[in-house]
Amino acid sequence: MELFDRITRYRYEYPNRYSSVKFIDYMITDLEESREEEMPGELTDICRIIRQVFGYSRYEPTNPYGFHKRVPAARNVHTNEAFLIWDGRISRYNCKRDVFERVGFCPEETGRIRLVAAAELWRIMKFYGEFGLVLPLLDAGHILAELKKKLETAGRTDAEILYGAGKPEDYERLGMSPKSNLITLEVDLGEGVFPGLTRESRKRYSRVMNYDEEVSAYEAAEWILPHEEGFSRRKLVSDSRALNPFEETEKRESAHNHIGVCSLERTIPEETAKAYLRQLEAYMNHYMEDAGRYRVHMLYTTGEGQRLQRIEDGKAGTAEPAGIDKGQLLHDTARMIDMESMPVIVYISYLYDETLTEKENIYNAHIGAAEICHWFLLNGCRDGYFGRPMRNLNDAYVERAFNAKKGERFMYSLILGKANTQNYVYRL
């Protein structure tokens, strides 16, 4: 678990010591030649889902982070890009221009449809250093949660999920370098043949900038980026039980501002908090084959005081009184985030699986924790709460306060509250 622990519980011991002034586009790196792709009508539902998940949905001029998508990302820097491979044609969704553009053609992909999410690492590593190597995996978890519920609604329940990349060619066909990019996940959408499709040469359009030198400056890149085959394939839907669907909402709010965040309501009705956990339990078991590998710790405050309720082995337990010092939960920025005022604080932890490789544990832990966090986040935002996912936690105190088990690592957290500020929003 040495590498796993280095990028989780000991991540603060390896601060960002490298700097580069090389330009990188905030939204997406351009291709050497951008040719807009006319997508076939048979892919209308998939293209619509890609736009909904990977496209910008709003602009907030009073928010420190201006442009926002439906899914959160570390520092609002969205590293993951969407590539659609359809019957050999490879297209990229350009979120800056809201168009699909041609990347190339790969005969080996003929007859299949796959959606690939791949992250340009330097976009986030320039802020976080080597810890930025895995932040795109957390972002991918939020993306996957959205993709699962939208694909199921569209009737694509036979899709399969695969994390990571198996070989360098997986990157090269996307016009990306395997030394500075990270394929986070792919969705195999099955067979797809388009008889009128013009077969092309193997020419691929590469990116105008390369960041191999910057990413390679971190020694951890040598351990995390090498490709590893054999990750298990996952079903889109794990069981057939019907779920109460999430209401689609444009109200997702993280309460970022320039003055600091507190919650105007310090308590939450107990039944509301318990209902959130019950629905989360249902979604975890519906979508996640390995739901029992994660523990969810929900610390909430009612008029009667603190309560702690968990999901363990895929089942919600009973609530019990708690006396946790919220002021010790954060590693830093405690002056900017008033944790004492938060009515709900959620931690998602992962139980290390000794039967898997360290690399697969890293993928599973980060993507799964963020997927779980996203479903809880949607519940709160639907009811008018803000929800801010955070990797900012005081690992040593959190492990003690929540009685961590052997091999349990706390991966992600979420604060839920009523915002003390209101940003102006332009819908895009």
Give residue-wise pLDDT tens across range 273-299.
Answer: 999 999 999 999 999 999 999 999 999
Same domain, 302 and 200: no
Domain membership of residue 364 (yes or no) is yes
The whole-number pLDDT of residue 58 equals 86
Co-location of 311 and 366 in the same domain: yes
- At 329, which CATH number? 3.40.109.10
Same domain membership, residue 188 and residue 289: no
Sheet of 426-427: strand order equals 67-69, 56-59, 426-427
Could you say which of 174, 208, 235 is where a domain stops?
A: 235
Confidence (pTM)? 0.96
368 and 284 assigned to the same domain:
yes
Q: 221 and 322, same structural domain?
A: no
Of 69-78, 147-156, 417-426, the poorest mean pLDDT is in: 417-426
Length of the chain (residues): 428
Q: Provide the token pair at 169.
A: 């060619």
Q: Are residues 68 and 209 in the same domain?
A: yes
Token digits for 79? Answer: 């590293």
Question: Does any domain span residue 143?
Answer: yes
Lookup result for tokens 């990270």? 182
Closest CA to 344 of 303, 298, 311, 310: 298
Estimate the share of the chain in helix, then strand, then coil, as percent rounded to the nearest 5.
30, 25, 45
Q: Do 214 and 280 share a domain, yes or no?
A: no
| Token pair belonging to 352 | 């290390």
Q: What is the mean pLDDT of residues 102-127?
A: 94
Question: Cα 300 to chain center, whole Å?
Answer: 24
Residue 197 within a domain: yes
303-356 pLDDT per residue, tens: 999 999 999 999 999 999 999 999 999 998 878 899 999 999 999 999 999 999
Residues 125 and 65 in one domain: yes
Residues 374-387: what's their mean pLDDT? Answer: 93
Percent of the chain with pLDDT over 90: 76
* DSSP summary character for residue 274: H
Please tell me whether residues 63 and 173 are part of one structural domain. yes
Q: What band does 239 get if pLDDT is binned at 50, 70 and 90?
A: confident
CB atoms inside a 10 Å sphere around CB 271: 9
Q: Are residues 286 and 217 in the same domain?
A: no
* Residue where the block lists tokens 């699962």: 148
CB-based contact 345:419 (threshold 8 Å): no
What tens digit of pLDDT does each residue of 400-416 get?
999 999 999 999 999 99
Q: Is residue 61 part of a domain?
A: yes
d(CA 187, CA 167): 17
User: What is the structure's pLDDT at 237?
Assistant: 93
Tell whether 315 and 393 lie within a shared domain.
yes
Predicted confidence at residue 20, as pLDDT, reads: 81
Residue 295's domain comprises 270-427
Coil/strand/helix, residue 77: coil
206 and 339, same domain (yes or no): no
pLDDT recorded at residue 1: 79
The stretch 240-262 carries a mean pLDDT of 74
Q: What contacts 124, CB < 8 A, 6 or more positions away?
A: 74, 75, 77, 79, 132, 135, 136
- Please count the structural domains in the chain: 2
User: 207-234 pLDDT, tens per residue?
Assistant: 999 999 999 999 999 999 988 887 989 9
Q: DSSP 3-state assignment of 68? A: strand
